[in-house]
Every structure is written in structure tokens, then in C-alpha cells.
Amino acid sequence: MDMRELNPTILSELDESPGRSGFEGYLVQLFDELKANEPFGLFEIALNPRIGVACAVYEAEDPGARHLSSPVLVSTEPIWFAASSPQSAADLFYEILVDHAVEV
């Protein structure tokens, strides 16, 4: 994914971080087994595999705003953590969200 397409809060975090040039952007769509036709949320991840660090947010549509004509997206604050690959970043970010019960 093009880094310029990442969530603006991740881009702000990266602007304040030294070594921004080594980051790569990733998008992970999350699907419900029962409603597999569209994702219920996504992870946006900026990963720097050279130094083993990632910054990520979880985004989802606000279920309380479904009655509105256009979707309202909510997201977590950016979370920094150690990761060495895109797969490990997605797995670790999921664990962080579950362990800390972050609600969006």
C-alpha cells in the first residue's frame, strides 16, 4: 500500500519519528465468517522491518451511526510495537487489541 494512503494519525506519528524512510504500508481487512462479503474493520500498519518496529491503528464503521447516509469511521490511536514482518505485525497488533480490550 502506498504510504501516503495510510491513516493520517499514523502519518503524523511517522513525521515525528526518526528514520521514516524505512517504513512500508500494509492494510489488513477483517471479515466476519457469517458476513464474508465485506470487511467489518481493518488494520492499517506502517512497518519498518529493518529496525523491527511498527505503528498501527484499527478502523471500523461506527455501528451506532449506521442510520446516517454515509458511514462514520472510528479508529484507535496509533500503537507502536516491535515487529519484524507484515504477518508478525498483524498478529501482534491483534494480540495487543485483544489483551488491552481497546474499544472503538
Average pLDDT for consecutive 10-residue bins of the chain (104 residues)? 88 82 91 77 94 93 70 84 96 90 54
Q: Grid coordinates in use for 48? A: 519498518
Domain boundaries, the chain: 1-41
The pLDDT score that the predictor gives to residue 9 is: 92
Measuring CA to CA, which residue among 5, 45, 8, 39 is closest to residue 24? 45
Measured on CA atoms in the order 86, 49, 81, 1, is the torsion positive or negative? negative
What is the model's pTM? 0.83
Q: What are the cell numbers at 97?
A: 487489541
Using CB atoms within 10 Å of the CB of residue 98, give its burial: 0 to 12 exposed, 13 to 18 middle, 19+ buried. Answer: exposed
